[in-house]
Structure 1
Amino acid sequence: MTADEIQQYLSELNDELALKDIKGEISLFGGAVMVLAFNARIATKDVDAIFEPVKEIRNAAHRIAELHALKLDWLNMAVRMFVVKHDRELLFDLPNLRVTVPEADYLLAMKMIALRPQTEDEDDAIFLIEKLRLQSKADVLGIIADYYPRKEISATTITWLDEYFSK
């Protein structure tokens, strides 16, 4: 999904909620943030998010999926097990739907915790490291520790950081 497509689907989601006089909120994560908020890539395969009210937004998302021949889980909450308390920025404030995104440092921490080598995760991490002007592995590890102080950093992530900062 491109930025224009995601914006269209979110606008339609707002319209669906308005029909039922429901106000909702969606916090975006992952590729959708990279596409919409940072213009760091052209598209993403789905929209990782946490949203309220869950049932109503999920039902509306299913109607939009049917209308546009999308996968039913185009808007999903698979990311929720990784989410911890963090600051959010308002991306869109539609009449019936507020859409927020995390700040870049939090998104980087999430990307590092869930890093999958040779995927868009790497490109996203590089973009975020450069955006935040981080100079060392210690800088990145410090951000991760700020959000995930008790989380063990995977060997994959440590190796990736060693390789990235040795260039």
Structure 2
Amino acid sequence: MTNSNSNNIGLMDKDKLLEIFDYLNERLKENLLQLEITIYGGSIMTMVYDNRPATKDIDCVFGNTNTKLLDNILAQTKFIFNLSEGWINEEIKEPLKAILREDKETYKVYSNLKILKPRAEQLLAMKILAARPEPAKDFVDAFLLCKDLGITTKNELLTIFNNYIPLTLIGERQINFIKYLGKDLGYDWE
């Protein structure tokens, strides 16, 4: 069987992400380890919102655990699932420093693995703060989150943002992002 999507090697769709989490749970169980992981970004959008066919990495923060043992389990997972370098991305820790408060909810619970995710409002605030240009998916994600949350005014959007991130962090990039977001949603957010 040949893979016609050879350029998609390392990409994880919803099914593959769930397989990976099942595998992680089994390795954790074998090692009598409990792990709590909070996932963000593309992996959330792929698993929860079904708007992305796949993600290249899992943006996450691990709870306190035996890091040597966890690193070994993650290396096994990378090998078994043929994942690319950087498939686990803890760089999200940096933008999380700007967050006034985390608003997490449980996404999935296994015997030895608990997966948390930020609520949609927090995820939206983080997407606006990031406001990265294409090929990043911040705009598409923010659009879908606004639709999902029923946001129709700039004021509603800024109130949600301010619940999680200080308004002082909104710069020109975020302002343009918000204006285009409103336009694409069919509203005038000038």
TM over 0.5: yes
Give the aligned length.
167
Per the alignment, residue 145 of structure 1 pairs with: 162
Between 1:10-19 and 1:144-153, the stretch displaced more is 144-153
CA–CA separation in structure 1 for the residues paired with 2:66 and 2:51: 28
Unaligned runs of 5+ in 2: 1-11
Superposed, 1:59-78 pairs within 5 Å as 59-78=72-91
> Compared with structure 1, are the counterparts of its residues 54 and 78 closer, same or farther at alpha carbon in structure 2 (3 Å cutoff)?
farther
> Conserved in 1, the CA contact under 8 Å of 2:20 and 2:81?
no
Per the alignment, residue 8 of structure 2 pairs with: none
**Which residue type is aligned with residue 152 of structure 1?**
L
Q: Does 1:12 align with 2:23?
A: yes
> Conserved in 1, the CA contact under 8 Å of 2:37 and 2:114?
yes
Out of 136, 142, 148, which is 1:125 matched to? 142
* Pair member with larger Rg: 2
Superposed, 1:17-166 pairs within 5 Å as 17-52=28-63, 53=65, 55=67, 56-83=69-96, 84=99, 85-118=101-134, 119-149=136-166, 151-166=168-183
CA–CA separation in structure 2 for the residues paired with 1:117 and 1:31: 15
> Aligned with 1:16: secondary structure?
helix
CA–CA separation in structure 1 for the residues paired with 2:172 and 2:89: 28
> Deviation of residue 142 (structure 1)?
1.5
Unaligned runs of 5+ in 1: none
Between 1:141-150 and 1:25-34, the stretch displaced more is 141-150
> Deviation of residue 54 (structure 1)?
6.3
Q: Once the two structures are superposed, what CA deviation does each residue of 1:37-93 show, in whole Å capped at 9, x if it has no partner?
A: 222221111100001226133331111101222124212211011223322121111
Residue identity over aligned pairs, in percent, reads: 28
> Aligned with 1:117: secondary structure?
coil
**Which residue type is aligned with residue 122 of structure 1?**
F
Between 1:89-98 and 1:156-165, the stretch displaced more is 156-165
TM-score by length of 2: 0.82
